[in-house]
Amino acid sequence: DDYSVDGLVTAIKKFEVRSSEFKKSVILKQAERFSKERFKREIVEFVQQSLTSKH
């Protein structure tokens, strides 16, 4: 949790050493959880459910 330049350099070096351990498919799947499309879809579903449950 070092936010200095040296901390960033260290983090990048650690990542480069371990980069083969990361799976692109897993990273992409995790990133999809934060997509604009998913947010829009889920907010619409939430609003629809909220409106339906109040009537």
Over the stretch 13-26, which tens digit does the pLDDT of each residue have? 999 999 999 999 99
d(CA 29, CA 38): 12
pLDDT value at 45 more than 80: yes
The closest alpha carbon to 41, from 51, 33, 53, belongs to 33
d(CA 1, CA 19): 19
Q: Between 23 and 55, where is the model more confident? A: 23
Tokens of 14: 């650690």
pTM over 0.75: no
Number of domains in the chain: 1
pLDDT value at 55 more than 80: no
Position 2 scores a pLDDT of 83
Position 30 scores a pLDDT of 94
Structural domain containing residue 22 = 5-53
